[in-house]
A and B are shown apart, each in its own frame.
Chain A
């Protein structure tokens, strides 16, 4: 497609369940980023992937969070044993080298 896509757009889950969020970056974009945004807050960096290099996981808030990027394209962010404080909009973005980020529409996660 022409832009970054994310699925699902909305996810409601119960506390303690695992969730998977998917991101399809723009074709040819080598870098992929995950951010989290709580209501009324700024963008919190989570993780980024650059080509075949080891990902920068320095923003992941706990070991319940993990992400992978298969074949240098699609990425999945997994949150295990979700907690209510995990509720937020999860944004994925991709870019070519030294170029601006293009963001997906986000996944709104609600943990009950």
Chain B
């Protein structure tokens, strides 16, 4: 069975710090890896990664996929309190979309 493992499970930092969140997976077939941010309610989409080694960037957030080593990282630079959320990694395998347990990030002022 395909497995998605996120680490760390939780992380507490101060504003201005840089964080790296990890998502590793074991797959048989693989299409895309997606990152979502979940604050109070429903997750919202951040990145969709299909090709290995190509960084996607949006403001202070960036993400990259390594298909050889089977992981993806999500980087957040100059963190702000508004970045506090659960970050979810989702493996898109044909029609199946199964999430990792998430990393709970807390950014303190």
Contact = CB atoms under 8 A, between A and B. Distances in A.
Interface of A: 31, 33, 35, 41-43, 45, 48, 50, 56, 89, 91, 93, 98-106
Contacts of B75: none
Contacts of A93: 42
Contact of B43 (A41, A50, A56, A103): A103
Contact of B99 (A43, A48, A89, A106): A43
A63 B79 CA distance: 45
Tell me if A's interface is mostly helix, strand, loop or mixed. strand
B47 to A, nearest CB: 9
Given A42-B102, A106-B41, A106-B42, 16 more contacts: A31-B95, A42-B86, A42-B101, A43-B99, A45-B99, A48-B95, A48-B97, A98-B31, A98-B92, A99-B48, A100-B45, A100-B48, A101-B45, A101-B97, A103-B43, A105-B41
Q: How large is the interface on B (under 10, 10 to 19, 20 to 34, 35 or more residues)?
A: 20 to 34
Task: Determine the main DSSP class of B at the interface with A.
Answer: strand
Contacts of A91: 42-43
Contact of B88 (A31, A43, A104): A43
A24 to B, nearest CB: 14
A57 B104 CA distance: 29
20 contacts: A31-B95, A42-B86, A42-B100, A48-B96, A50-B95, A56-B95, A56-B96, A91-B42, A98-B31, A98-B92, A100-B48, A101-B36, A101-B90, A102-B45, A103-B42, A103-B44, A104-B42, A105-B41, A106-B41, A106-B42
A42 B10 CA distance: 12
B58 to A, nearest CB: 13
Contacts of A105: 41-42
Contacts of A42: 86, 88, 99-102
B80 interface: no
Nearest to B104: A40
A7 to B, nearest CB: 14
A12 B36 CA distance: 29
